[in-house]
Structure 1
Amino acid sequence: MYTLEDIKLYNMIVHILDSSLSVPVLSMEEMESNYDIKEFFANHLVKTLNDDSLKQCQFQTDYNMVYNYIKEYTQDDSRFVEMSINIANQLFSIMNANSNIPSADLAVVAFGCRGTKYLALLKLNYLNSFIHYTETNNNANVNQIIQHRTTLPNSGQKINEVIVINLSTLGIDILEKKYEIDGQKEFYLSLHFLKCQTNLSSKEQYNIVKKATDTITKKYFDEDVEKKMDIQQELYHNIEESGDINLDTFANEAFKNHVDIKKEFMETINEKGLEEPVIHLTEKTITRSFEKQKLKTDTGIELKIPMELYNDPDNIEFITNPDGNISIVIKNIKKIIH
């Protein structure tokens, strides 16, 4: 996990890309930095770097203006302002032609992290908020509240559109959203702005495996509680050891003695875009996915069980009764907290 201590800010500049205007409002000089501004950008960079929705991609270099601007900057970092202006113009031309893309300020930030230099493009989409102002009426102050339509996200909020470029390899990590382009929703940042093809994020990869596992389990083992538990536990242990999922190994163990079911599982995840034999998960994905196992009975009872206790008979036991009903025994409880 990245922390604020990992981030060292070098250069910062902000351009106004308001689609209600005919042209962008471009800065000709870098921002004056202070503690609050540095903390603002550092907080957003840490959130982005730790986000398990980050996708990776690589520039297509042919006829790619953004790639050319950044490549020139890597060869001469005194061109930071010039590079940022060119990039802002390129992005604004896409936004101006597609009214569904939200207006924003574009912050271009050069920073270091753990010995590597990066360039971040943070698209700070405008938020609606209310502010007060004071007007004078007949020599008397009157306080009013008005709606402000160009408020920026604060440090505690998530930015949904961020590009982080490794200036040594020119590899890209990206958070992005789909907006309508020519009548169809697309990831415009990767496809039209950067001109690159993205890989699935850690979160997306895990969700594909989890959904396929749940679907296959429900289809073939819905009445076999112990088998369902074993499959969930196998997925947990597969990830716990290395933070990765070897899909073939997991399928072999989860669906042993069921060759056709394993084949169906592998075909399902391949159809969803998982073709690599091993997927690598971030720490955030692992923590989010395996902190607790949720159970819901047909009688409406819901349980959240820590994964380390889920398959421990000293703490919880699932008993299949002769009539086919299931009893859940929770053990070693010292007190119940309401």
Structure 2
Amino acid sequence: MAIDTGDRVNDINIQNAVIHVLDMNAEEPILNEYALDLTEDTYMFLYKHIDKIFKSDNLVPAIFNDERNIVRGISEEFLNGLEGNLIEISKELARQLFYIMKENIYIPSCDLIVTLIYTDQGPMIGILKLDYVNSFTHQVEFNDDKIAVGLIKHCAALPGSSQRIKQAAFIKPKKEGQKFDLWVLDDRKNSKKEDEYSANYFMNNFLCCSQISDSRTLTKKFINAVEIWTRSNITEDAGKAEKVRSTVKEELINKDSVDIEELSEKLFSNDTDKKRGFEGFIKSNGIEEEIKLDKDYVEKKLKKVKIKIDNDIDLTIDKESYNDPSKFEIQHNNDGSINMVIKHVFNYMEK
């Protein structure tokens, strides 16, 4: 059963922040003894990253595991006003993450920012792992009274406000009856060289938490599972594939929940094998028999329709134009193919 996490965090007020350096080439972390000076530029740098994380579709609710957990313990004591200050708990969090990172060479060096934020859902401790990115800056030299301008590569630059942080957590105060303990973003793309430890260390070994399902994660899983099944099982009949996709979109737009068996019957009433295969595949992806839809995610996901045709044509169409027969139409042919017709074009550009 999926939990209802309510609305995502909207109002964010950064109260304090501390940054530490976790360099995999060093024997110990470089721990800061001072809080960051939250100038206007620094505040906006942090705010934009935090706001982007809370708006990410990959941010999920999680609960702490039952075993002893340093991150959980010191965070709860601090948030409940029992012990510690942000600088001291941030140093302990940095030590804990650094020693975990040193266990595997595939975990990248980073700066760790620990922050206290106030939100419309209460106070939270934010933990942001900022992996280094390469950047370049110019270097000016004078050679025999002539100016020479070159480029210098910086290998330890922080991701800018337009880039995305890949791993972060926001820990809530412990309250009786709460449905989850923290929000987690763990969006690293794992290389083939990485093992299970380095792939899952942030949630499994550092935070010691487990993801739980809410309506957004289940809605996302459902949409992805339908597309994967359609690509794999309807490969030579674009008409049937279009019927699946358009029917599912109608369900997503017009309903607050989707019953998997009812949808399967609507799609494949005359094909028992496909009906069973579709239901089994969707449910094997962790989708319940009936899921409550996250309508905000549906609106965001269906705002634009992105189509790849025969691997060499890409179309991006906004929802209104896609559903407007005076602008765009899908025509079904008797051989299972379809025609996609763009109508009444008065102006176009090449990119």
TM-score range, shorter chain: 0.7 to 0.9
- 1:267 aligned partner, one-letter code: G
Equivalences for 1:250-329 in 2 at 5 Å? 250-275=263-288, 277-278=290-291, 280-281=293-294, 283-284=296-297, 286-289=299-302, 291-292=304-305, 294=307, 296=309, 303-308=315-320, 310=322, 313=325, 315-320=327-332, 326-329=338-341
CA contact (8 A) 1:319 1:326 kept: yes
Moved more, 59-68 or 268-277: 268-277
- 2:301 aligned partner, one-letter code: R
Query: C-alpha offsets along residues 212-233 of structure 1, whole Å, 9 cap, x if unaligned?
Result: 23434x16xx4372x4333222
CA contact (8 A) 2:17 2:113 kept: yes
Note the C-alpha offset of 1:283. Answer: 3.4
- For 2:120 and 2:298, the matched residues in 1 are separated by 22
Q: Which residue of 1 aligns with 2:20?
A: 15
CA contact (8 A) 1:236 1:290 kept: no
- For 2:335 and 2:199, the matched residues in 1 are separated by 53
- For 2:144 and 2:326, the matched residues in 1 are separated by 78
Q: Which residue of 1 aligns with 2:4?
A: none
Q: Which residue of 1 aligns with 2:237?
A: 223
Query: C-alpha offsets along residues 160-219 of structure 1, whole Å, 9 cap, x if unaligned?
Result: 111122235562222222476667652110011111222474645532232123434x16
- For 1:254 and 1:185, the matched residues in 2 are separated by 41
- Alpha carbons of 1:64 and 1:329: their partners in 2 closer, same or farther (altered >3 Å)? closer
CA contact (8 A) 1:51 1:284 kept: no
Note the C-alpha offset of 1:59. Answer: 0.5
TM (norm. structure 1) is: 0.82
Q: Which residue of 1 aligns with 2:130?
A: 124
CA contact (8 A) 1:238 1:246 kept: no
Q: Which residue of 2 aligns with 1:234?
A: 247
Q: Which residue of 1 aligns with 2:226?
A: 209
CA contact (8 A) 2:252 2:293 kept: no
Q: Which residue of 1 aligns with 2:57?
A: 52
Q: 2:166 aligns with which of 160, 163, 175?
A: 160
- 2:277 aligned partner, one-letter code: E
Coordinate RMSD, CA, aligned? 3.4
- For 2:45 and 2:86, the matched residues in 1 are separated by 20
- For 1:82 and 1:94, the matched residues in 2 are separated by 19
Percent identity over the alignment is 26
- For 1:27 and 1:199, the matched residues in 2 are separated by 34
- For 1:324 and 1:206, the matched residues in 2 are separated by 24
TM (norm. structure 2) is: 0.80
- Alpha carbons of 1:105 and 1:229: their partners in 2 closer, same or farther (altered >3 Å)? same
The answer to whether residue 76 in structure 2 is matched with residue 62 in structure 1 is: no
Provide structure 1 residue ranges, at least 5 long, that are not aligned to the other structure.
none
The answer to whether residue 342 in structure 2 is matched with residue 337 in structure 1 is: no
The answer to whether residue 184 in structure 2 is matched with residue 174 in structure 1 is: yes
- 1:223 aligned partner, one-letter code: D
- Alpha carbons of 1:322 and 1:79: their partners in 2 closer, same or farther (altered >3 Å)? closer
